[in-house]
Chains A and B, each alone.
Chain A
Amino acid sequence: MSDSANLAARALTSVVFIVFGYLQFTNIGSYTTNAAIVKFVGVTGGVLSPTVIAYLVAAIDLFGGLLILVGFQTRWAASVLIIFIVLTLIFAHPFWTFAGPSRAANQVQFYKNLAIIGALLFLIVLGPGRYSLDNRSGRS
């Protein structure tokens, strides 16, 4: 059953990335002014403009999610997404810097993101499995 469970795990884990990558691409205007993106641009000294970062974030979300779903370069994709989530922990959900209700709200998102890192670590351990493009293209 482990190959179908692997596929189910990848599919479930990929949804959040695909959906929000898609939403970011289709609402890119509101993401270029997103507080976390503005902060990231500030910290990196404006090497990349907010628009570039917004597209980059959307692309990592959408394509990272799709790669996980179809199981293509699964381990690489999961590793990139983990780095991305770590950045969201620091830039989007540093709950300890918030006060009031937004502190609790960001704390929940922070811990959920931690759990998603856990999920991606398990996918890295599992590897591609039978129902994946890695498996079809692999071992040439």
Chain B
Amino acid sequence: MAKGSSHPLLSHADGIATGMTDILLLVGRVLIACVFLLTVWGGSPTVAYLTSINFVNPGIMSPLANIVEWVIVISLVLGLGTRYGALLGLAFVIVATVSAHRWWGYPQAGQLVQYIFLTKNLAIAGGLIALFVTGGGRFSVDEKLRR
């Protein structure tokens, strides 16, 4: 996974990255979990919100989405089934982005912020894909269970 990336003069970051891998993975997991926690802490997406964006079956999908978000948060923070948590998070981000941040459907004034949400969500999706590749690292329940 980790290997020299460039001319020796430019590859000092490699040493730091490979030496701190497990810490970086832990911090990254918590940071990504934070955004899901922020959303679900307020009970979002609420039935009223899902109704307002014409989402299918708001009464069922709102609690389901809340449960899914909690599962993602717990999985990422503890590093429990990390790769499944990453895939679930990826699926959640895709559904949320496609259903809620279609920027072109918003009035002009609100388009930029929706566009920011959309592109930021892409970056978060990228992070979840990367986490799927790396796995949770040493500081995870997965690692404890492996032994």
Contact = CB atoms under 8 A, between A and B. Distances in A.
The 3 closest A-B pairs by CB, nearest first: A119-B127, A12-B126, A118-B31
B17 A122 contact: no
Interface string A86-129: 00000000000000000001011101111111111111111110
A126 B133 contact: yes
A137 B5 CA distance: 8
A117 B28 CA distance: 7
A114 B142 CA distance: 24
Given A108-B38, A112-B120, A126 B4 contact: no
Nearest to A3: B133
A126 B1 CA distance: 6
26 contacts: A6-B133, A12-B126, A12-B129, A13-B122, A13-B126, A14-B123, A15-B122, A19-B119, A74-B5, A109-B120, A114-B31, A114-B32, A115-B35, A118-B124, A119-B128, A124-B13, A125-B1, A125-B2, A125-B21, A125-B137, A126-B130, A126-B133, A134-B6, A137-B6, A138-B3, A139-B3
A5 interface: yes
Interface of B: 1-7, 10-11, 13-14, 16-18, 21, 24-25, 27-32, 34-35, 38, 113, 115-117, 119-134, 137
